[in-house]
Amino acid sequence: MELIIIGCGRLGAELAFRLFSKGHMVTVVDHIAAAFTNLSKEFRGRTLEGEVLNRDVLLRAGMETADGVAVVTNSDAVNLVVGHAAKEIFQVPRVVARNYDPRLRELHETFRLQTVSSATWGAQRLEDVLCTDLIVPVLTMGHGEIEIYEIKIPKSWEGQTLQDILPKRDCNPIAVTRGGRALPPSAGFQLEGGDLLHLSMTEECAAQLYMRIQEG
């Protein structure tokens, strides 16, 4: 794929190298030449110095033929404008923009841009690690509205079914792993202590389930 990374801070540089390592054709754009020193010495993609809000710079970067664009500068305004241009003017199939300030996240969503809020996501993950041990989040969808959680079934739940223990709404079992083998769950699936249950659910459902585990 032909991919463009706008912004070569630590995040942009890491993303560029990951994509390059997987065989993609990567162009990195930044208005400061010194920013390219953030790139790995093994990076062999293309770099372009120039004002990222300049149409000619975006054209030279290959915006007209790009398969995807990630706008990851530390300016939410720049990310919004360039992301919107990539999506609406250049019709790039895949556009994602970084949300730098969580207070401005709603503005990104107003523009209907796919966004990644690194501060919000990072704070959420740190909170989970510090405060949670019974239910562990393993994957976040969107900005955390839906997450996939892993639960180690306690001995006190042995013999109960998924229908017995799970909240009635916004909670969907994905798989039960027993003895290293993943099994498809059903409402009547009987659990054993030590099973690993993976669920997609909202934060509210996770809180309800956490309370049930504590109550035994």
d(CA 61, CA 46): 9
Domains by residue range for the chain, with CATH: 2-119 (3.40.50.720), 126-215 (3.30.70.1450)
Give ∠ CA 52-11-63 in degrees, rounded to 5: 35
For the cut 70, the answer to whether the pLDDT of residue 128 exceeds it is no
pTM across the whole model = 0.64
pLDDT digits (tens, 9 = 90+) for 3-14: 999 999 999 999
Mean pLDDT of 88-94: 95
Instruction: Name the band, by pLDDT with cuts 50, 70 and 90, for residue 114.
Output: confident
Q: What is the reported pLDDT for 136?
A: 74
**DSSP states of 165-185 as a string?**
HS-SSSEEEEEEEETTEEE--
Q: For tokens 């030590």, what's the residue?
A: 194
Paired strand residues for 48: 29
133's CB contacts (< 8 A; 6+ apart) are: none
